[in-house]
Every structure is written in structure tokens, then in C-alpha cells.
Amino acid sequence: GINAEYMGGLASVDATVHGSLASTYGVQGYPTIKVFGLNKKKPTEYSGGRTADAIISAALSEAKSMVNERLSGKKSGGAKKEKAEKKEEKSDSDVVTLTGDNFQAEVLDSKDLWLVEFYAPWCGHCKNLKPEWEKAATELKGQVKVGAVDATVHSELAGKYGVRGYPTIKVFLPGEKSGNGDPEDYSGPREASGIVGYAMQKLDDAGLGPDVTQAVSSAELDACFTKKVCVVSVLPHISDGGAKARNDYLEVVRGAAKKLRSKPFGFYWMEAGSQQSFENTLGLTYGFPALVAMNKDKMKFTSHTGPFDTKAIVSTLNAMKATGTLKALPTLVTTEPWDGKDWVESADEL
């Protein structure tokens, strides 16, 4: 006989009352019967006869299988393998795994823009979205946070946000968040480029346009090279046109950065003459302002030769036709950042 310890029970759920629970398990028609065997997180579909004898027979067969698997130790081994696989899978992902335990700290206590997917492992549409979601997360890294919640495990969290189907994507806007974060429903594209474009537009709407950072040490250049393409503008010395001219140049570069923000470009700038080694390596010895785009993976660079305006720069960066090869990655010496003021001659220069 079968030990009663391993015997289960029969239960029913009114799916019209507990719609969220039914949705969690993919119930689309009635009656639907699920068998919760050894792995309670992954019930199987019952497709046997609908007579008492058939149901009892199926239940006894499942119970017997559970007994055999537990006695053979398969449960613990399988669980360890599953956990190891999940851990390995997560390690290569830029998608943040969100749970009921970390959701408050990761999402609600942050000022970042978050795109959060609520999914079910068995959901076909979720499986189709996954590679696009992963790709979008990688492209948005450092600008927008992308997360995912397994709603079948964290059903209380899913219920809190009214999740009734999968995948459901919620948008938590940048800035201080109160209460449940008051998220918006995402209704944009489901391919990576569209997801990235949607997120970038949300940043624009919030007045968080792309920045162009001054490179005053190798630390900034290293940060720039975390992007697929590192774009550096070399602007004239502050004595050449003053603060107004420099700010006008920076506005041109910001305009290009904004138009290309859905692409993996990093934008930085430096003052001409402040980084002689860098300028010599890239052949930027005259004709400022100048702009160069470097691809670290290919060790190639492209020099912008057209007019220094947003349209022309965007055209150059979209084409990315290599004009030179990098024998080694350039380095920078540490300099003082610009204070935003006009140039003042020193006593020695008077």
C-alpha cells in the first residue's frame, strides 16, 4: 500500500471569484484540473477521464510516483540542479530578478525609471518576450532599470498591481515614488528596439535627457568604453569663444546624443590641448571642435569630418565608417574639470 503521508487530496477553486489565482495557473476554460505532484511550482494538466474511478486511478498513480521519487532522493537532487541552473541563468542577465522581498528596496525606494515584467514560466508570450527583454535590458544598462517578477511565485506582489494576464509590464517613472509607486501600464512594442525607444522617450518626457560628460581622467574614458561605441568631442580651449561658444558646442553634441540615445553610444568631451597623447593617438592635432567615435571591440575609430552640427554628427555616427585602427586604447592624464566660467587671463599671460 501507499503511506498516507504521501497521499494528497482533492480541492476546488471558484475561478470566477479567484480570477487572479486561476490566471496564475493558465486557466482558460472550465473545468480545468491541475495535478500538484512532486514539484508544487509546476503542476501538470489532468487530461484523463472525468469519472470518479478515472480520477482516483490517476491520483494513486501520481502518489505512487511521488513515493518512488522521494525514496530515491530525486527530489533533492532535482531541486539542487534546478536552483543551480537558475543561478547560472541569472548571472549572465542584465534583467533584475524582483521578488516580494526586494521589490521595495530595488524599485520603490529608487529614483530610477523601471520597466517591470510580470510573467509566468509556462506563458508562451512571455517566452517570446524574454530574449527581447534581455536585449533591451543590456542596451538600457546604466540609464533605465529593467526587472522581471515570476508572478506564479510572487502572486501577492502580482495581485497588488492588478496583474491578470501575462506578460504584464508596469512602468515606474523616474523620481521619488510613494505608496505602490503609481505605475503606468506599458502598451508599447515587444521587440528590443521598441522597448528601448519607449524607455528613452520616458526619460525625455521627465526632462532627463542624455548628458555629455567631461573626460578629465582615465576613469571617464573607461566608463565611456563600457558602451559599444565611445564618442569623444574635443572642444576648443575656453579662450577661444568663451563659455557661450563652449556651451553651444555641448548643446550640439547633446542633440546628437538625444537622437541616438537608443543606440549603445557613450558621449564625452575634453578641452583641446588638455590630452595631448589622446589627440595624437587619434590624429586630432588641429581643426577644433573635433569628434571621434571608437569601437573597443573592433579596435577601430571614425573621425567626424563634416560640419560640427547635430545633423552631420548623427549622420557620421549612423554610418560608422572606420577611418583608422587603434593599436591600443588611449589613456588620459588627470586634469581639472571646467568650472563653467569664461576664461580669465592669468598674471603670467598678461
Residues that are catalytic:
123-126
Cα(99)–Cα(147) distance, integer angstroms: 10
- Helix or strand run (H / E) with residue 211: none
Q: Match 567615435 to its residue by C-alpha cell.
A: 293
Listed residue (33, 29, 2) closest to 16, CA to CA: 29
What 309-315 contacts at long range (C-beta under 8 Å, 24+ apart), as own/partner pairs, is 309/252, 310/252, 310/255, 310/256, 310/259, 313/252, 313/253, 313/256, 314/256, 314/259, 314/260
Cα(118)–Cα(170) distance, integer angstroms: 8
DSSP sequence for 90-153: HHT--SEEE-TTTHIIIIIT--S-EEEEEE-TT-HHHHHHHHHHHHHHHHHTTTSEEEEEETTT
Cα(200)–Cα(209) distance, integer angstroms: 8
Provide the 3-class DSSP secondary structure of residue 170: strand
CA angle 330, 209, 142 (to 5 degrees): 55
Alpha helices per DSSP H over the chain: 19-24, 52-71, 74-91, 103, 124-140, 155-160, 192-205, 218-224, 242-259, 276-281, 310-319
Strand order in the sheet with 324-325: 213-214, 265-271, 229-235, 290-295, 300-303, 324-325
